Structure 1
Amino acid sequence: MDFSEMFYQGWEGIVRTIIVGALAYTTLVASLRVTGNRTLSKLNAFDLVVTVALGSVLATILLSEGVALAEGVTALLLLIGLQYVVAMLSVKSRGFAKLVRSEPRLLLRDGEPLPQAMHAARVTRDELDTVMRTSGYTDRSTISSIILEADGSFSVVGTGHKASERVEVATAST
């Protein structure tokens, strides 16, 4: 085994990566500017998949000599175009939107976990507590709701002060 080839195989590959990479990157940025921020919004799982796929295609264009720039750019434009079409159809058709998007799910209301919703979302009480603590709450009774958003993130809506805010208030008054 020739270990030197692991680190350097000649200038041809490096020059190809620089030229093809710069052109592919420019094409990707220009395409995203034309189609708008919605293409990379991560509002739902479908958006996340497209974002990851764009990154994967760009990496393949950069590193695979078997993929010509024209093929790679076609793949990027295809993904961006399909994302644009899906977003437009989602805006125009509620049925289509339900098919490709997940809905937010209420997991906790007025400090009380909702077991059926948690089970359907495959979220445990320990995970709910982690979300609560990460958001700065230590007591469930100070939380109005925890929502699992369509993009997989959690929203925590409090009823009062966070624990950290209470400490600051107590410190400020002494």
Structure 2
Amino acid sequence: MKVIETEIPDVKIIEPAVFGDERGFFMETWQQKKFEELVTGKPTTFVQDNHSKSKKGILRGLHYQTENTQGKLVRVISGEVFDVAVDIRKESQTFGKWVGVYLSAENKRQLWVPEGFAHGFLVTSDEAEFVYKCTDYYNPKAEHSIVWNDSDINIKWPIDDEHLSLCLSAKDKHGLKLSDSPLLFKN
């Protein structure tokens, strides 16, 4: 696999080696030893896998947990999304900065979003199936949402398309600005 650095050093793009022929393709999507050696540099255990399906214009996020903080290894198995990670670690030199990457079934890229980041994505294809591994369990009592269009973060979402109507959950419509969000992390 190939690991690509981003503007935030802890967030990584992973391109798996894909072996294809007229029958289709094969790729290794996860291997503990390589992941720890090439991506995190430390022992990393995943405890939960998630799978969501969404239609074009669905924006999910920016989500994070203040307890049971989760690192996420994300990928798209059908369609395309614009995936975003926002650094919400108060003491970080990249606090409030974001990385955005197109993930698709076609490019087969994955994104490593470590603990201490808010995460979200926008579906840019007619629909998309999104799968991800988490380093801790979902804890709805500790989940928070930063509003997708926080002007202090200034994410450049690809919503210029006149055929794209944005759709958010009630929780995401009422997300807080980063400056008003609780950022106490407990593992």
TM-score range, shorter chain: under 0.3
Which structure is richer in relative contact order (CA contacts within 8 A, separation 6 or more)? 2
Q: Larger C-alpha radius of gyration, 1 or 2?
A: 1
Q: Which structure has the highest strand share of the two?
A: 2
- TM-score norm. by structure 1 comes to 0.20
Q: Which structure has the highest helix share of the two?
A: 1
- TM-score norm. by structure 2 comes to 0.19
